[in-house]
Structure 1
Amino acid sequence: MRLLQRISDDEVVAEFLKAEINSKRFGDKIKNALGGVGPEIITNPDITDATQNQFRKRLLGKVRGYGNNTELFENFPPEVIWHKAIFSRKDLCSVMYINYSYWNELSGNSRLAINAAKNIQNGIEVFGVSNDGFKDIHLDIKQGYTFPKMIFISANEKARIVVLEGHARITAYFLETEYIPEEIEVIIGYSEDFVDLDLY
């Protein structure tokens, strides 16, 4: 793993929403919460525009709890040091899912995407949820589709790394590891306070 430049939380929020506006699980919720504002505020964000940045933060608060101390962002640290980073294939192998029942079960309680992918390939479905979504993303990967950056978190540079956004994508990559790029750009945030999160 190689850290690149530091980035603002405005950029992280924009990338988070860009990743989820087309997701089957959260896309409609995000689009409905736009309230008449055009989707380009997410699909083509202007990070230099303070008004846009505030709107996106409020939007992520509505749909995922950001800044509201709820849902995914319950007890999330207010101060996180964010970086763009380069991960190798090997680096991705040790990135863990959040501590959540579905991902725990799918990965055989390892919280590793490589193990979840094996279960998916073996036809194992968890809690009655279809695996088709992973297979659809995997097909996009094979066809060369460019995805928004996955977003990871960690307590420090020696601690475990956990997916904040991008669980389905990292799983889909491991369905056929030869399609994982030699290097992939992601976002990673650091805060020692992450160790107190239930999801971490």
Structure 2
Amino acid sequence: AMAVAYFAIAPKLDLTAINPLTLRAAFQEISHATVFFTGQVLINNSDIVLVKHFLPAREAGLYAAIAMVGRVIFSGSQAIVNSMFPVVAGSKAEERKNLSLIGTALLSVLAVGTAVSVGLAITPDWLWTILFGAEFKILGPHGFPYLLAIYAATTVVYCLSVVVMTYEMSYKIANTAWFQLLFGGVLIAGICKYHESLQQVIMVQLVLLVCFLILVAVPFFLDMLNNAGFLLERRKLRLLRRMSEDEVISGFLRSELGKGVYAEYEERLRSIFLNPDLQDVSECAVRRALLELRHRALWRELPEDTQWYEVEIGSAELNQIRVFPRAQWARTARGNFAIKTVAERIKNRQPLPEDPFVRKISEIRGALTTDTLDSGPIILIGLTESDPLTILDGNHRFVAGVLEQKVERLKFVCGLSTSMAQCCWYKTSLFNLLRYGRNLLRAFLEIRNTEVLQLCESSGTLPDEGPPPPVL
């Protein structure tokens, strides 16, 4: 049937659209799917093999019959999952806010699984012996109906985990495929440790799979909490014009003036900071080298396909903006990084004369009041113009603008990419942090270049007089 359907559809590939980037993305998706289904096979089938190994043949045969009930429930839930996954993956970001897709899937799996589990629990023991023979009668408090019901409940718990995992994968909230594969090993170890009876084997799986469901649901609930304010009211960001990356870098470096970040270069390169010529290739190269010198780890985490825009931000768009979760901001936010919430907490914070954090915001508020603030744009990053946005640079200025109710006076630049969820600055997850650590180690092992000085001298941006700045 699949072969007939394939040839009937007669798909035609556009070979001109195939490039290394699309092939790499396709390979990543195939790898994720392979790991995901390998973990499923391991969790679904390892128990039968282990029971056959550890327990006598009669108990192993009974367990195989009991496990068939779980296979029926899992097959039914897979029909729901297979229907949900393409719908979720193809839905618009706006449909994510009502959680109807995952809610319907979870309730469907739970309803079907609960009905089967309860039905098996109340089925009398004598009915199974009539249908299948006296060998299916198990003496003691944990009879055949009890074991069937508990195994069915165990399967339902795992099916709920699969629904959550596929939802997270389709929305790129998290990729827990590797975690599932690792947990399959934990499940095997648990059965190897506890296998005195069929009831013990099933209970070990139930406890472990409940823990697994809780763990895989953590990214989903964190995503809900992060977007709680955003989901209440969301507007589509107004894109004013497309910007080149060189223009964004120029604005970013302008905001670094006076902070001491480029103290050894500011006097000699002040003109390319304040009056950038974006058509001058050598001048743009100098700015890129300066960015690499101090902010290599920050900028390299952004996806390669990031597109930059000048955007308009007003009070109506504040619900979808979050501060950058680092250092003092993480302590102030206490888990809720919504810009309005953070601004309110800073407003109610007891000011201390020696607190540089609050003092800096107060200075910016004063500059906004007197219209003397002269700095680069605030840089935001996000998936699309309708999704949550994170402040990459300009937390202090943005909060000051919110507190003074003068957000409209600030300049904003936004980088958008559908792969932004893989950037640790936009989404702090275990996998993103591991990727960041790998990239940081790779960057650390690179030979630190003298590109800035060389570019400055070759482009003529360094004046003749005075000693050269120190080379890093």
TM-score, scaled relative to structure 2? 0.37
| Matched residue type, 1:163 | I
Equivalent in the alignment of 1:157: 385
Contact 2:401 2:410 in 1 (8 A): no
* Shift in Å, 1:74: 4.6
* Shift in Å, 1:185: 4.0
Contact 2:378 2:413 in 1 (8 A): yes
Whole-Å separation in 2 of the counterparts to 1:141 and 1:103: 21
Kindly indicate whether residue 269 of structure 2 is the aligned counterpart of residue 38 of structure 1: yes
Whole-Å separation in 1 of the counterparts to 2:326 and 2:257: 22
Equivalent in the alignment of 2:422: 196
Q: Deviations over 1:133-171 (max 9, x none)?
A: 000000000011244221111112232111111111001
Whole-Å separation in 1 of the counterparts to 2:267 and 2:286: 12
Whole-Å separation in 2 of the counterparts to 1:35 and 1:108: 36
Equivalent in the alignment of 2:324: 98
| Matched residue type, 1:53 | C
Query: Of the candidates 108, 111, 121, which is equivalent to residue 334 of structure 2?
Result: 108
Contact 2:365 2:400 in 1 (8 A): yes
- Give the stretch that moved more between structures: 6-15 or 149-158: 149-158
1:116-131 equivalences under 5 Å are 116-124=342-350, 130-131=357-358
Equivalent in the alignment of 1:141: 368
Whole-Å separation in 2 of the counterparts to 1:83 and 1:141: 24
Whole-Å separation in 2 of the counterparts to 1:93 and 1:59: 34
* Shift in Å, 1:189: 0.9
* Shift in Å, 1:54: 0.6
Query: Of the candidates 278, 296, 300, which is equivalent to residue 47 of structure 1?
Result: 278
Number of aligned residue pairs: 186
* Shift in Å, 1:5: 1.6
Equivalent in the alignment of 1:14: 250
Contact 2:378 2:410 in 1 (8 A): no
* Shift in Å, 1:75: 2.4
Equivalent in the alignment of 1:62: 293
* Shift in Å, 1:31: 2.6
| Matched residue type, 1:189 | G
Q: CA RMSD in A?
A: 2.1
| Matched residue type, 1:39 | R
Whole-Å separation in 1 of the counterparts to 2:267 and 2:361: 31
After superposition, the Cα gap between the structure-2 partners of 1:131 and 1:54, relative to the gap in structure 1 and judged at 3 Å, is same
TM-score, scaled relative to structure 1? 0.83
1:179-194 equivalences under 5 Å are 179-181=406-408, 185-194=411-420
| Matched residue type, 1:19 | S
| Matched residue type, 2:282 | T
Structure with bigger helix share is 2
Equivalent in the alignment of 1:168: 396
For the residue of structure 2 that corresponds to 1:192, the secondary structure is: coil
For the residue of structure 2 that corresponds to 1:187, the secondary structure is: strand
Whole-Å separation in 2 of the counterparts to 1:29 and 1:76: 21
After superposition, the Cα gap between the structure-2 partners of 1:124 and 1:78, relative to the gap in structure 1 and judged at 3 Å, is farther
Whole-Å separation in 2 of the counterparts to 1:180 and 1:130: 20
| Matched residue type, 1:63 | R
Whole-Å separation in 2 of the counterparts to 1:134 and 1:185: 17
| Matched residue type, 2:381 | I
Query: Of the candidates 241, 257, 261, which is equivalent to residue 29 of structure 1?
Result: 261
* Shift in Å, 1:7: 1.0
For the residue of structure 1 that corresponds to 2:302, the secondary structure is: coil
Contact 1:47 1:53 in 2 (8 A): yes
* Shift in Å, 1:16: 0.3
| Matched residue type, 2:387 | A
Equivalent in the alignment of 2:240: 4
Equivalent in the alignment of 2:197: none
Name the % identity. Answer: 22
* Shift in Å, 1:36: 6.5
| Matched residue type, 1:87 | I
- Does 1 or 2 have the higher relative contact order (CA < 8 Å, sep 6+)? 1
Whole-Å separation in 2 of the counterparts to 1:74 and 1:124: 37
For the residue of structure 2 that corresponds to 1:175, the secondary structure is: helix
* Shift in Å, 1:51: 0.6
| Matched residue type, 1:162 | T
Whole-Å separation in 1 of the counterparts to 2:266 and 2:344: 41
| Matched residue type, 2:357 | S
Contact 1:99 1:198 in 2 (8 A): no
Whole-Å separation in 1 of the counterparts to 2:418 and 2:325: 17
